[in-house]
Amino acid sequence: MLIIFDVEGVLLNAEYLPVLAQVFGQEKEKEIWDITKQGIRGEINWEEGLRKRVAALRGVEFEKAKQIAENLEIMPGAKTLCSALKRAGWKLIAVSGGFTIITDRLREELGLDRIFSNELLFRDGKLHDVRLNVTSDKAVAVIPMIKELNYSKEDIVVVVDGANDLKLFDLSGYTVGFCPVDKVKEKADAVIEVRDLSILMHLLEKKFGKAVVIAKY
């Protein structure tokens, strides 16, 4: 079995750029949050919104950006869930519209097999631009790996929160909205409303049987 996670709002209990914006004060934080929420709800072009947010934060020092990234909270229940799935033989993938600066640590901390994300570019130690490796169609990033590992749709679970993640649902036989926006609620096979990823274990056990999820706690 293969499970594909979104990162911010799912594996991480935070949205990075709004937290980073606190460096500039409340007004800038509100500006970044407004654009972020529009993107999550699917109200604006996602790529355009991302570039706009990064441009608004240009000049942040790398060391500050890294410090904030390393201190973002792992979602409650994420370590329990990922550890159990790994022991049960699952493959774990994360795909993020966020950045390597926040996703690299998750490979080790959560035992992920692969992470796809974008990259913040720094010039002279300060934030300058962004390199897009993952677009609004996150499915494009993960499809080559799915083909390489030869997983069928019925063997794939997707867990997301935002409308910009919905194209991932087309790859999956079982879709889960995690504290999701309304557009995701409408399309997901199951919805978790509490910010605790360990709840997903019960849903997976119910869907796939006890043999799939072992040593859960």
**Contacting residues for 71 by C-beta, under 8 A, at least 6 apart:** none
CA distance 19 to 23: 8
What single-letter DSSP state applies at residue 113?
Answer: S
Residue appearing with tokens 């997903």: 200
**pLDDT the model gives residue 217:** 45
Per-residue pLDDT of 110-145, as tens digits, reads: 999 999 999 999 999 999 999 999 988 999 999 999
Q: What is the pLDDT of residues 157-206, one digit of tens each?
A: 999 999 889 999 999 999 999 999 999 999 999 999 999 999 999 999 98
**2-12+74-120+132-208, CATH topology level:** Rossmann fold (3.40.50)
Q: What's CA 106's distance to the chain center, in Å?
A: 11
Please choose, from the candidates 136, 168, 163, the residue with its C-alpha nearest in 3D space to the C-alpha of residue 49. Answer: 136
Question: Can you name the CATH fold of 16-70?
Answer: DNA polymerase; domain 1 (1.10.150)
Mean pLDDT for all residues in the chain: 92
SS3 3: strand
3-state DSSP assignment of residue 11: coil
- The residues spanned by each domain of the chain are 2-12+74-120+132-208, 16-70
Beta strands 114-123 and 126-131: pairing type?
antiparallel
pTM given for the model = 0.91
* pLDDT digits 0-9 by tens, 140-162: 999 999 999 999 999 999 999 99
Residue 216 has pLDDT above 50, yes or no: no
pLDDT at residue number 214? 52
Q: Report the 10 Å Cβ neighbour count for 71.
A: 9
C-alpha 146/C-alpha 107 separation (Å) is 18
